[in-house]
Chain A
Amino acid sequence: MKRLLPPDAASGARRPSRHFEDTGETMRRKAGSRIIPGFGVSLGITMTFISMIVLIPMSFLALQTSSLGWSGFWSAALDPRVLAGYEVSFLCSLTAALINCLFGVILAWVLTRYKFPGRRIMDGLIELPFALPTAVAGIALTAICSDKGWIGGALAPLDIKLAYTRAGIVIALTFITLPFTVRTIQPVLERLDRVYEEAGLMLGASRERVFRKIIFPEITPAILTGFGLAFARGLGEYGSVVFIAGNMPFKTEIAPLLIMSKLEQFNYGEATAVALVMLLVSSVVMFFINCVQSRASSFIKE
């Protein structure tokens, strides 16, 4: 990441930048100062937004939790039923994110590389899960997957149950988080210069080898980002899941539902404690992915 910056930018970090109008001054000091204008203003805007939208509200969340004290925090966050909730949420969103990575790559590939009737319509449908209110998605998916529904009914004779099991949760989360993977991979594939692929093919590499050695490394950072976003979003999802999950304690009860039931008892402290744990887990995952991703992209650049 650092490599992409002008070599002198890092050293100039603490020096005051000047307005660009006084060219003489800038020309003289150009070796030591930022060349590209707009640092102060863009940093100011960014920091203000982040503070108002994220930092200040989040600090109030932490403040609320601190009213519990350490022991209260741990007993709320590590209660057996809550732990079971984390497990359900964690496993299901992990599975859904993996499914979406696989199909995200296939869908993005098909949408950018092949021409077939209905391609534009298919492309147009990808954002649907975002626009549809999550509760509507949950109700519709449950109607399809219950043993009286179109898909669930077909599977019922085989003794496969989708709705009101963990499989149902995975289905809901796959639906909700699909746009994340497709739409992070798609732009990268579109931008990819096909010269290298064609060169590889001309030189006699197999199609599979070209994909593995040329295309896959290019889209890996995007797949990781998509995975991270889908996973984090899935971990917190509530609206659609509660309809299809069945919500049986220790079996299909997700962690966000436990937060809701604590809020229902006017128990803000414990609710925010569970929320904070989940926030921490998904932030760690995101951070880890950011690290892997920047390493991967610098590897490619070499």
Chain B
Amino acid sequence: MKKSVLLSAGILVFLTSAFLSQPPAAIAASTEIVNVSYDPTREFYEQYNAVFRKYWKGKSGQDVHIVQSHGGSGKQARAVIEGNEADVVTLALAYDITAIEKAGLIKKGWQKTFPSNSAPYTSTMVFLVRKGNPKNLKSWGDLAKNGIGVITPNPKTSGAARWSYLAAWAWAHREYKGEEKAVLEYMGKLFRNVLVLDTGARGSTNTFVRNGQGDVLLAWENEAHLAIAERKNEFEIVTPEISILAEPPVAVVDAVVDKRGTRELASGYLEYLYSDEGQRIAGKNYYRPSDPKIAGEFAGVFDLKVQLVTIDDPLFGGWEKAQNVHFADGGVFDQIYAGK
């Protein structure tokens, strides 16, 4: 009996492993690269990839194939760390790429590799309000008034929500001259006005746009434009006087390109994002081009006068610190809800 148990187990295990093992991939340079990106960039990269393929064919004669992957930025970073072999990552937060760096897959100093902190396009957080702005919401202060329903995703699970939270913090810090207690009180009021905390930016947009909850949605500028395109004449965008400069960065994953021999192609792919053509595609997809010249062409779309605070401002001290102070378990954000 024991023999037959072992025999059948052995045969099964052998079959499985024989089925799964493949000969090690050829070392020859591949012309396929994987771009692991975050959620609403699919349309942008679809257009960009077509342009890049043509450009690269003209430059080197190679036909390249680009495999796209989209998901929540944090989840995508985790997947890369856990073994999803991306040649390039184009994520929402530097924090997520730093996590990949810490896992040893990307070399230190990656943020200096490409211009503008390796962020070829930027965005910011805006208010999406119902047509005609019936509650007359103009500034961050208005959102904390009684009777206003605010929709934002949960900062614990959504990168967008973290940006909005920090933008509100930056406004309050200036408004209350840096007095911590008043800032906290404001943040408490703001989040008490939140009706629904969805897990992601898209979920929040849906709650606000389709299910009609709340008076104002805190949203990515580009997603606010997409929401308006989806439902014309129902919403308008309000850009607050102060907001945050979101820099979705890009990086080459060193460990993967060295293994596959795709470094040249991967770098070329990211570099071309800074070309006039790449920048214009970004602008058309509602991302602010980092090249001021091209950004000027889109002055009709973006409010270029808004004062933008960066994450590296001493107020926040970079993502690492902001994450630990505000969003880690037991951090400031948790205290807002625990003290309720």
A contacting B, Cβ–Cβ less than 8 Å: yes
Chain B, 45-62, CB within 8 A of any chain A CB: none
Closest to B206 in A: A139
- Chain A residues with CB under 8 A of B197: 246-249
A126–B157 Cα distance when bound, in Å, is: 33
Are A146 and B8 in contact (CB-based, < 8 A)? no
- Chain B residues with CB under 8 A of A243: 198, 203, 206
Q: Which stretch (A90-98, A173-181, A256-264) binds chain B?
A: A256-264
Chain A, 47-104, CB within 8 A of any chain B CB: 47-49, 52, 79-81
Are A52 and B156 in contact (CB-based, < 8 A)? no
- Chain A residues with CB under 8 A of B329: 79, 262, 265, 267, 270
A248–B338 Cα distance when bound, in Å, is: 11
Are B212 and A147 in contact (CB-based, < 8 A)? yes
A267–B76 Cα distance when bound, in Å, is: 15
Size category of the A interface is: 35 or more
A223 to chain B, nearest CB (A): 34
CB of B18 closer than 8 Å to a CB of A: no
Write out, one digit per residue, whether chain B residues 120-147 have a CB within 8 A of any chain A CB (1) or not (0): 0000000000000000000000000000
Given known contacts A261-B154, A267-B329, A41 and B8 CB-to-CB distance under 8 angstroms: yes
A243–B197 Cα distance when bound, in Å, is: 9
CB of B21 closer than 8 Å to a CB of A: no
CB of A287 closer than 8 Å to a CB of B: no
Closest to A34 in B: B1
A261–B8 Cα distance when bound, in Å, is: 42
**Majority-rule SS of A interface residues:** helix
Q: Which stretch (B9-17, B106-114, B222-230) binds chain A?
A: B9-17
CB of B6 closer than 8 Å to a CB of A: yes
CB of B305 closer than 8 Å to a CB of A: no
Closest to B197 in A: A247
CB of B64 closer than 8 Å to a CB of A: no
CB of A16 closer than 8 Å to a CB of B: yes
> Which residue of A41, A146, A263 contacts B213 across the interface (Cβ within 8 Å)?
A146
Are A44 and B196 in contact (CB-based, < 8 A)? no
- Chain B residues with CB under 8 A of A119: none
Given known contacts A48-B13, A264-B156, A270-B329, A242 and B6 CB-to-CB distance under 8 angstroms: no
B331 to chain A, nearest CB (A): 10
The CB with the most chain A CB atoms within 10 A, among B3, B8, B13, B328, is that of: B8
B202 to chain A, nearest CB (A): 10
Given known contacts A243-B203, A264-B74, A44 and B8 CB-to-CB distance under 8 angstroms: yes
CB of A227 closer than 8 Å to a CB of B: no
> Which residue of A17, A40, A143, A267 contacts B211 across the interface (Cβ within 8 Å)?
A143
Using a Cβ–Cβ cut-off of 8 Å, how many residues does chain B contribute to the interface with A?
A: 41
Write out, one digit per residue, whether chain B residues 311-340 have a CB within 8 A of any chain A CB (1) or not (0): 000000000000100011100001001101
Chain B, 11-37, CB within 8 A of any chain A CB: 12-13, 16
Closest to B199 in A: A242
- Chain A residues with CB under 8 A of B74: 264
**Majority-rule SS of B interface residues:** helix
Are A44 and B199 in contact (CB-based, < 8 A)? no
A149–B156 Cα distance when bound, in Å, is: 29
The CB with the most chain B CB atoms within 10 A, among A39, A80, A139, A243, is that of: A243
B85 to chain A, nearest CB (A): 19
B214 to chain A, nearest CB (A): 11
A52–B206 Cα distance when bound, in Å, is: 40
Are B199 and A247 in contact (CB-based, < 8 A)? yes
CB of A45 closer than 8 Å to a CB of B: yes
Are A260 and B199 in contact (CB-based, < 8 A)? yes
Are B195 and A39 in contact (CB-based, < 8 A)? no
B260 to chain A, nearest CB (A): 26
CB of B70 closer than 8 Å to a CB of A: no
CB of A225 closer than 8 Å to a CB of B: no
- Chain B residues with CB under 8 A of A246: 195-197
Are B327 and A40 in contact (CB-based, < 8 A)? no
CB of A163 closer than 8 Å to a CB of B: yes
Are A44 and B198 in contact (CB-based, < 8 A)? no
CB of B232 closer than 8 Å to a CB of A: no
- Chain A residues with CB under 8 A of B213: 146-147, 164
CB of A43 closer than 8 Å to a CB of B: yes
A143–B4 Cα distance when bound, in Å, is: 56
CB of B281 closer than 8 Å to a CB of A: no
Are A257 and B157 in contact (CB-based, < 8 A)? yes
20 residue pairs of the A-B complex, CB under 8 angstroms, read A40-B1, A40-B5, A44-B4, A44-B7, A44-B9, A47-B5, A49-B12, A52-B13, A79-B329, A81-B338, A142-B206, A143-B210, A146-B211, A147-B213, A163-B211, A242-B203, A246-B197, A248-B194, A257-B199, A265-B323
| Besides the known contacts A142-B206, A148-B211, 10 further A-B residue pairs in the complex with CB atoms under 8 A apart | A52-B13, A142-B211, A146-B211, A146-B212, A148-B212, A243-B206, A257-B157, A261-B156, A264-B157, A265-B329
Q: Top 9 closest A-B pairs, CB basis?
A: A40-B4, A44-B8, A148-B212, A146-B211, A261-B156, A44-B5, A249-B337, A48-B9, A247-B197
